[in-house]
Amino acid sequence: MQSPPDRRTARRATPTSEPTRSSLPARSWAADLGPGLVSLGCDNDPSGIATYSLAGAWYGYDMLWTCVLTYPSMVALQLVSARIAAVTGHGLTANMRAHYSPVLFYFAVARFVLANTLNIAVDVLAMATVAQRFVHLPLALLAVACGGLSIALQWFIPYARYARIVKWLMLPMLAYGAVLLIVDVPWHTVALRSFVPRIEWQEDFVTMLMAVLGTTMSPYLLFSQAEQEAQHEHREQRQNQRDAAPQKPQKPPKPLSSRQLRRLRTQTLIRTALSSVAALGMMIAAAATLHGANARPGEPVPIARALEPLAHGYAGLLLGLALFGSALLALPPLAGSAAQAVASSFDWPRGKQRDGRIAGVLVALAGLGTLLALALGLSRIDPLKAMYWSAVVNGMSITPVLVLLVLLGAKREAVGEMAAHWSLRALCWLATLLTGVVVAAHFVLEAAARIGW
């Protein structure tokens, strides 16, 4: 006998419920599964795989520094996000609502929801492209089928349960590391370009740089990290007391124990390192195998060829499995974190009714992303190009969100004595400044090209 709709949605589809280990929902994906193949898939979805591969194919080793020199700032941004949630017991959107004007808050939420919906669309389109290798049907029809598959999995199967199977589709990602052992890699150039930036002030180069930074520092990861941490705090609070969780961030915020801080640092360092190493591997492999006369910036590149030295004729299959698996792993957090942002916008109180509403928003956003993927398929847009431009859009709109995040982490009325240390704030501001300069340079170079300078 089926449970009532509100209970079912709270247990199976809502990314904020607090279940037992055997029925973990989509939004607790980072807490229990930890660093590993699942984190690898969530942090490097099809848009990320395409962007890093194109960066290596088009520009060789020139963008390796974006994964190495930005690592401290990436860690700092995620630590600040997690600390805000751990101290207040609420995610970033709830805190922004409490401490910023409605204009700034709704701008941040709208930007986040729109970017996530676009990301959902290109991930669904990537799944459809992979499926078309095996089922010779129109891409648009396969996009609808793949989007429906993702929604069904999120609704009927707890995320942790199907992730234990889907995560094995991420094993082909390890093939990039094996390729580096086979092909001739100029490691002295790799080391140099990893620590000495080389920037070409040309529109194509700056656009790619914006896409790489948008993928590397994606706000989706920051919002998801904060929501996951807030859920962890609520689970601990319910274990320690039977009173309902407070509806708004508390004043003064509670300090964190040394054990909590150590856990946050360890999880953030490991997860961010995994993501950065994977991005480096993809870029180096693509640079070693694809960069050259036949990989001009802006032109299509068969990115599966980066795996041919290892997989030969099965390179396309390996890449397809990685794209399909990473999409299945990333779609629930993408839709779930966006649904959480909507819930914070309306200040829905916690409880079964809120869980049911968030479940409905989650399905609606996943459905909207599927419809957008359908439109992309009907318009015959190159899926690789769509994945790349999704990262560009992310990079183009990331700076204002980072500004709000850094300011929030320094607000003592928000986080009390746990305000971010000056070193964390400096690293966060460095990342914010970098993204802002790159976006400004992009618009300047684009305007110069239009007027013929």
Domains of the chain: 5-451 (1.20.1740.10)
Give me the residues of the chain with pLDDT under 70, please.
1-42, 229-257, 293-294, 349-351, 354, 413-420, 453
pTM of the model: 0.84
In the three-class reduction of DSSP (H, G, I as helix; E, B as strand; rest coil), residue 101 is classed as coil
The pLDDT value given to residue 39:
61
The pLDDT value given to residue 440:
93
The Cα 358–Cα 360 span in angstroms is 5
Q: At 116, list the tokens.
A: 């996530």
Select from 177, 181, 155 the least CA-distant residue to 367: 155
The pLDDT value given to residue 29:
34
The pLDDT tens digits for 390-422 are 999 989 888 888 888 888 877 776 666 566 678
The pLDDT value given to residue 168:
84
The Cα 98–Cα 4 span in angstroms is 33
- Contact between 410 and 95 under an 8 Å Cβ cutoff? The reply is no
